[in-house]
Every structure is written in C-alpha cells, then in structure tokens.
Chains A and B, each alone.
Chain A
Amino acid sequence: MNRFFAAMFLSALALVAQPVDRTKAPPTPPIPEYKLPPVYETKLPNGLSVVVVEDARFPLVSARLAFQAGSKFDPQDRPGLAEAVASVLTEGTKSRTSRQISEETDSMGGSLSAGAGADGLTLSGSALSDNLPRLLTLMADVAMNANFPQDEVALYQQNRIQSLRAERSQPAYLAQEKIAAVVYGSSPYAHIGPTEAAVKSLDPKTLAAFKDARLVPNNATLLLIGKLPARAALLKNIEQQYGAWQQKALPAAPKYDFPAPKRQIVLVDRPGSVQADIHVGRLAPTRASADFFPLMVGINVLGGGANSRMFKDIREKQGFAYDAHSEYDTHRESGDLQAITQVRNEVFEPALKAVLAEMDQMAADPVPADELSGVKNFMAGMYLLRLETQEGVVSQLSNMKILGLPNSFLETYTARVRAVEPAQMLGVAKKYVASGDAAIVVVGDASKIGETLKKFGEVTIAKAE
C-alpha cells in the first residue's frame, strides 16, 4: 500500500494527557493538508483529452469518457433524449450484442454504464486492474460503434415509461420537476427528465443521430485512475484504441434564456399526501462566478447538514420535520439554490414561515465567526471524505471537465472556502438568499393545505397526475 495522497499527518494523540478531562472536547491539531494526486493530462491529435491519475492502493481501475452531451442538448420536443442515448449506449455495437457486452464486463470484474446529467453524458467503466486493456477496448467500441438495436430501444421505451410513472409517484420528484421548470423557465435546464410522449417517440435513428453529432473525440475527455501500467505503454495503448476515432465539427450551442427570479407559488396537488414537500428556490450563479464561494458557504450555514440553521430550528427545535436542508446545484451555464423540507400537514404554515425566515435571516445579519468557522471546517472535511475512493477522485475530475473548470478549482477549493468573509456572504445573501424573489413549490394535498398556502400569496395549482 503506497502513500497515494502525500498528506502530512500530525499526531493528534500525543496531545492527550492522562487523566483526561471529559468535560470538554479534546484538543486536536488542525485538519490535515490535502494535495490532489499528480494529474497527467494530454490530448490526442483527434482532439480527445486524456487525464491519467496513478492510484495503486487497490487492484482496480476506474475510467470515464465524459462528453459535452447532457440533457441541455435535448431538442425541445424530445426531453430525455440524452438520457435515452446514455441508457441504450451500452446495449449493442456493430460487433457486440448487449449480452456479449455484459458478459465481457462481468468477466473483467468490471462495470460499464452511461448516464446523462444536465451538461454531460458520461460513459463509466471499471475493472480489476489487470484487465485495463480489455476495458479500454470495450469502452472504445461502445463510444464509437454503439448502434442502438431496435429491440433494445423498444425495451428501454417500455421500461422507462414504467419507471417514469414510479418516479412521478414520489413527491420529491414532482417537487424537483416543478421547481426546475419554474426556476429555469424556457431554458434547456428546465426539464429534469423525459415525458411519456417523448419516450414513446424515440427510435434508433434519433438516438444514433444524437450520438453521431456529439459523441466525438473533440467533445470528450478520457479519464483513468487506478493501478496503471507504465505511462508510455499506457499512452501507446490509448492511442491505438482511440486514435482512429474521427473528429467532427460540433452542432451550434443551445440558447440560454434564464428568466429573472420572481416570487411565484405553485402547489402540485397530490391527493392523499400525508405531508407537504416544501421547496423554496431560485436561480443562482455558476461555479465560475465570484459569488460562488461566499454563496456556497452561506447555503451550508443555512441548511448544509445536521449542524445547520434549518436542521437545528425546523427539525431539532420545532420538531416539524425529519429532514430540513438546503442545496446549491451548479450547471455549466447557471445554477439554482433551494431550501427543502417535508412536513406533516398540520404544521405546514409555521414550517413554511420558518423556512422563509431562515432564508431572510441570512440576508439580515452577518454570520457569527464561530458558526462560520464550523461550517468552513465542515466543508473542508466533506471535501476530503469525498476523495477517499477511486470513484470519488475520478468523479470530481470528470465534473471539472464537464463544467469547464480547471483542476486548480479542486486544488484551491479548501483555501477559497476558508477565505470567505462574513461581509461577502451578507452581500451575496441579499442578492440570492433573501426569500422575496424565490419561488415556492409545494407538493401536497390541495384540499388540506391549499387555503393555508394562499396566505403566502397567489397560488397556481398544478396536477400531480
């Protein structure tokens, strides 16, 4: 086992004297430094970016082929196209059937799957490290030669319609679906999934056309992490596998018209709901914005985990909810923030008031120093914990590529979190967190909570189906 992260270890333990003072938390040294492991980057002549990280702790390799081909490229009349391409991508190539692909994957001790997010479509693979050449061959075949067999597309359509119905039976899904539509308006980030009609209209040709246009080397990054062979041999292997892949001019980028945030109240009626799912949210800046770090720290003060204001007030003090938290999600072109809780119908009104009050409080007073340092430590530690496994490191690096950010974003993350000042946070909170311009989306039984919700303003009622 070698030292993957060249971290400085300061012994916490010598500091503890005996007998111990149990009445307060033991003194401990500062959080250990984290340094990103060496990341080697290169580019093939056809435009394919290559990222390689050595991690020999376990006899495994994890790989990603990340494309700029997410759901924001779905045509208006076909929401879910990128997701469908990803789902059927691994179900057959010109020379391999779906069964052969899955047997080959399993015989390597591996995995192979593809998924689409808002910005990126990612083919993910892994294998026991001795099987890396086979994994590279298989991933190249899938990326270049996937042919979307008719029967596999039909099966995807059939099952996706069923799973969509199952998803839409979940209040959390209905809430996320509605708030994305409200916050992102007519922009390509407004949909989080397909519609049944769009799934029904899919055919192999449509999927193949999307793939042919966007799954090209000059729109992709190949990332490898794990117990790897010598660098020169590895690069030669990659060149042999991926060098002949033809580059192509990319289609025009979609237009992004993000609506100005304003207060709207939408109730998604779900008769029989025993509780109300509350989402208060609005548009927020990308990670490239100067506002990102102050806002991210602020959102963690508001509702990041069990030490946050929402958790302490809404769950611990008031006992309104099991879960109360906030989220700040960023896409490449925009982002959104949300305060979320699920409460029983009887306490709906005070709970919604409490959510709005916590948001407004962020914009009213600066965050006290000790609370702020706790949140910064929380974020720094969470960041460290995410990088424990190969999957964790490769996901972070792949995310950087998809969001168009430099690796230095990861390296400087902790330092930039630490540098955030209360005054900056107050400034961005007035701009983004104050609840006045935030949309309120509630999923629940309109006959139980509809009248109450009207106390907060004009309510639009939507059907849950």
Chain B
Amino acid sequence: MKKLLVCSLLLAGAFAARSAEFTIPIEQYQLKNGLRVILSKDNAVPVVTVYIIYDVGARSEEKGRTGFAHLFEHMMFEGSANAPKGTHFAAVESNGGTLNGSTHPDFTDYFEELPSNKLATALWLESDRMRSLSINDENLKNQKEAVKQERRLSFDNQPYATAIVDAWPGLMYRNWQSSHSLIGSFEDLNAASVADVTKFFRTYYAPNNAALVIVGDIQIPETRKLVETYFGDIPSQAAAKRPDLTEPAGFEARQQAYKDPLARVPGVVVGYPGPKRRSPDYYALNMIDAILTAGDSARLRLDLVKGKQSVIQYEANLGWPFASALDYRDPEPYAIFLLYNPRFTAAQMVSQVQDEIAKLQNEPVDAKELERVKTTMRAGRIKELQSTMNRARALGQYAVTDGDPGLINTELDAMTAVTAAQVQAAAKKYLTPDRRAVLEIQPAPAQAPPGAAKEGK
C-alpha cells in the first residue's frame, strides 16, 4: 500500500487488476451413480452453502404443460419418505438457515445456506427428496394453487412482468421449446397430473442429471464421507433426453406492442440473438454489455440517462431476462430493457439504442475506457464471490454447463481478454437492426373500457 495519496486521475486499472488475484479451492469428483460433487473449503465464517443443480428447466416442458418445471420445483418442498411435508422448511429454518429453489429455462436449483454445524442436516434433506419425493394428489393440488397465486402476485399484478414472461419469448424465438411462457398458463397447470410429476421426477431428478456443490466451513474428508453416506446409493437413471432448441435459420426483425394496464412509465426491450456460450463472440458481447451498462460510467448512463435524459432505468444481460453471462445457454439473446421518459417515443428509444451500438460498430472503444470497464468487471466478480452462495452457484453452473467447475478461477481472464477490435467486430456481426426484436410495453390504464383510450380519455 502506498502511503502517499495518489492523484485521482492516475490510471490504476492494470495495477488493481493484478493485485486482485485470488483462487477458489476446488475438490471435484463423481459418485458411482453419476452425481457430480464439488467441494470448496473456506473456514473463515462458520457458514456453509449446500447447492444442488438439476440439468432440466422450463425449456424441457412439453406442449400442454407450460409452467410444469416451476410447478415441479414447488413439489420438491412437499416432503419425502423420511422428511414429510414441512420438515424441509422446519429443519433448515429452525436451525438458522435459509433455503429456496428456482426454475430457469435450462436448469433448476435448490440451496440451503446455514450455520456450518448443520451440514449433515442439509445433506439428509436433499438426498431424501432426490431418493424418495412424496408425489400425491393432495400435494399436487396444493402446489398448483401456490403456483397460481405466485403468478398473480409476481406477474399478473406487477407492471412489465407479464409482458416480459409471456410476450418476450414469443418474439425472440420460433422454436416452441423456447418461445412458450415459462411461468405457464392456469389451464396447463390445472392439466398436470400425478403421472406427469412422477415421470418428470424419474427422468430428470436422478443423481446422474445433477451436481452437488458444498462451499464454506467444511473439512474435506468428513464431507466426502457424508456425501457418500447420503447420496451414494441413490440409483442412477437412463440419460435424459435434451430438448431440441434449434431455431430456424435466418432471424427476421420483429416488433410488438404490449398494452400493460399496470405500467405507469413506458418501457421497451431491444434484443438480438446471441452467440454460442464461451465462443469468442460470447466474451465480446459480454464486454459490449459491460461497456453499455456496467458501472456508473457506463455509456447508457452517461449518454442516455444523463446526456439525452431519455432513459430512466436500464438493465441488460447476455440471456436477459432469465439468464446472465454465467448461466447463458444458447439460444439466448443479448437484450436491453429500458424504462424511459414519456416525452420520447418507443421508436426514438430504439434508435437511440441503435445509435449507441453504431458507435461501437464504427469506432474502436478507447484504451482507457476499455481498461476501466475491465477493472469494473473484475471488481464486480470479486464482490460477487464473497458469499458462499454465489460461489456455489457459479461452481454448479460451470460443472453442469461446461463440465469444468475450475472455470470459476479462469473465466474472468477470458472475459477481460477481449480486445477493442473484437468488440467492434461482434457489434457489427450481432447487433444490427435486421436481426433485432423490439417489445414495446405501453402503459394502458385498466379503468378505461376497451377503445376508450382512442377517444382521448
């Protein structure tokens, strides 16, 4: 540490980047039944995260069963042979932990984060439901209601959410596996049967279709023994069939306007089909995303929020809205979601975004800016990995999607190795108006009867 104060304008990016190196320890192996196991020891705080990722998500749903993957996730909290309904919540929470599950397009995950003395409790719970989930009519009926209520609360009664979850995938994709509503319709949820749940469980919730990650205050030999004890004799199943997610060749520009009775401020989504995961273009687009949206000096903030004063809020990601660079599995878009000042039109906002992209296409990003963005990216990554939960999530994702949890220590280098020329080339290749989808979300007050808006209410 320098004792003298450095002038604030000195460039410190390269220095900071070098000194920020740190390594997450990884122990990985596979049980005989195919369960992948990743252990990462960190005894600093007496906390442990147990994280299981199953390699199935909403894009594996069948027609007539939209929302099923999510409904199934709820069923995982309905009890198992030795841990009846309520035991899971009670055992984790009464011991001071937190738990949850979440359903994504291509995977579903479950976690417990708890004081480290309770590691065995979490393994007991997770193994019991992987081995012997309680699937019956009563549980299914109950969870259909819970899922419907979740839809009412988190989607139907929230501005923007219904447009994003129901309309956006239909605009971005042609293949039904990707284009259907991932939260599902009430009709399809009602149609789900106990037989559907049983089949899904057998097919996808097998040890050979999952990875178990344990991060935090553990000792490796004892933890290995515990994992073997609880998971070792769960039988494996025939490898699950992957959905065919192939999109028809040739993406055509698309546009749709969605009237949202709950929105008060207009919004617009601008998206483009993205590249293959971990291809050079993927890293280049990830850098483009950071240039546009990461940190306070991001271009969208300086140029549109501050400069043109058109944008109020923005978010963007590789894989928006359901994924990020970490869990991106193609086909996925790169998309930007803006809330904007109603002084502007949606068409103006789209062209402002396209102008920002044109700058990336027409001139290389300058070295100082690129260095700053890389520093922001690096710091963001270190901050994120402070929590055992985020470390577990990243390890699980790299294990299942890429077959290599070690990427947690090397992927940042790949992400920050992108050059100005690669940024420019990727902007030209991917982010052009002829391969752009646009979803306008227009405020439409519910009180107005149909047609009233036209008459100038």
Contact = CB atoms under 8 A, between A and B. Distances in A.
B218 to A, nearest CB: 8
A58 B22 contact: yes
Given A102-B296, A388-B386, A128 B379 contact: yes
Interface string B88-126: 011101111111000000000000011111111100100
B97 A9 contact: no
Interface string B414-428: 000000000000000
Nearest to A273: B157
Contact of A98 (B152, B159, B306): B306
A5 B21 CA distance: 22
B19 A128 contact: yes
Interface string B350-383: 0000000000000000000001110110111011
Interface in A335-360: 342-344
Contacts of B187: none
- Dominant SS among interface residues on chain A: mixed
B20 A128 contact: yes
A408 interface: no
Contact of B8 (A25, A134, A275): A134
Contact of A377 (B22, B94, B261): B94
A233 B1 contact: yes
A273 B262 CA distance: 9
A291 interface: no
B318 to A, nearest CB: 20
B455 interface: no
Contacts of B261: 272
B93 A20 contact: no
B33 interface: no
A180 interface: no
B296 A319 contact: no
A15 B341 CA distance: 62
A106 B373 contact: yes
Interface string A130-142: 1111100110000
Contact of A28 (B21, B45, B117, B371): B117
B150 interface: yes
Given A132-B1, A134-B12, A168-B264, A13 B121 contact: no
B149 interface: yes
Contacts of B257: none
Interface stretch (B225-233, B238-246, B401-409): B225-233
A375 B96 CA distance: 8
A13 B225 contact: yes
A245 interface: no
A233 B388 CA distance: 32
Interface residues of A, number: 112
B86 A106 contact: no
Interface stretch (A76-84, A155-163, A213-221, A451-459): A155-163
> Which of B98, B145, B158, B264 has its CB near the most chain A CB atoms (within 10 A)?
B264
Given A5-B46, A315-B146, A344-B152, A26 B121 contact: yes
A57 interface: yes
Contact of A133 (B6, B378, B382, B446): B6
Given A16-B229, A319-B145, A385 B264 contact: no
B375 A109 contact: yes
Contacts of B99: 306
A321 interface: yes
B152 A274 contact: yes
B185 interface: no
A22 B373 CA distance: 51
Interface stretch (A30-38, A185-193, A249-257, A399-407): A30-38
Contacts of B6: 133-134
B348 interface: no
A75 interface: no
B262 A169 contact: yes
A169 B115 contact: no
Contact of B341 (A162, A374, A375, A385): A162
Interface string A2-16: 111101011111111
B222 A382 contact: no
B97 to A, nearest CB: 6
A163 B312 CA distance: 8
Contact of B119 (A13, A166, A312): A13
A162 B312 contact: yes
B301 interface: yes
Given A20-B229, A170-B158, A389 B19 contact: no
A162 B46 contact: no
Nearest to A381: B96
B98 A382 contact: yes
Contacts of A322: 146, 149-150, 152-154
Nearest to A370: B94
Contact of A109 (B159, B301, B378): B378
Interface in A116-155: 126-134, 137-138, 155
B2 interface: yes
Contacts of A16: 120, 225-226, 229
A29 B117 contact: yes
B46 to A, nearest CB: 4
Contact of B93 (A166, A374, A384): A374
Interface in B6-64: 6, 8-9, 11-13, 15-17, 19-22, 42-47
B256 interface: no
Report the 3 A-B pairs with minimum CB-CB distance, sorted nearest first.
Answer: A381-B96, A109-B379, A374-B94
Given A240-B5, A316-B142, A378-B95, 12 more contacts: A3-B43, A5-B46, A12-B222, A13-B120, A25-B91, A31-B118, A59-B19, A99-B302, A103-B297, A169-B159, A375-B94, A381-B95
Interface of B: 1-6, 8-9, 11-13, 15-17, 19-22, 42-47, 81-83, 86-87, 89-91, 93-99, 113-121, 124, 128, 142, 145-146, 149-150, 152-154, 156-159, 217, 219, 222-223, 225-226, 229-230, 261-265, 294-297, 301-302, 305-306, 309, 312-313, 339, 341-342, 371-373, 375-376, 378-380, 382-383, 385-388, 446-447
27 contacts: A9-B46, A10-B117, A13-B120, A16-B226, A25-B87, A26-B124, A58-B382, A58-B383, A99-B302, A104-B9, A107-B371, A108-B16, A109-B379, A130-B12, A130-B15, A131-B12, A155-B306, A155-B309, A163-B313, A169-B159, A307-B90, A307-B94, A315-B146, A319-B149, A378-B96, A380-B96, A381-B114
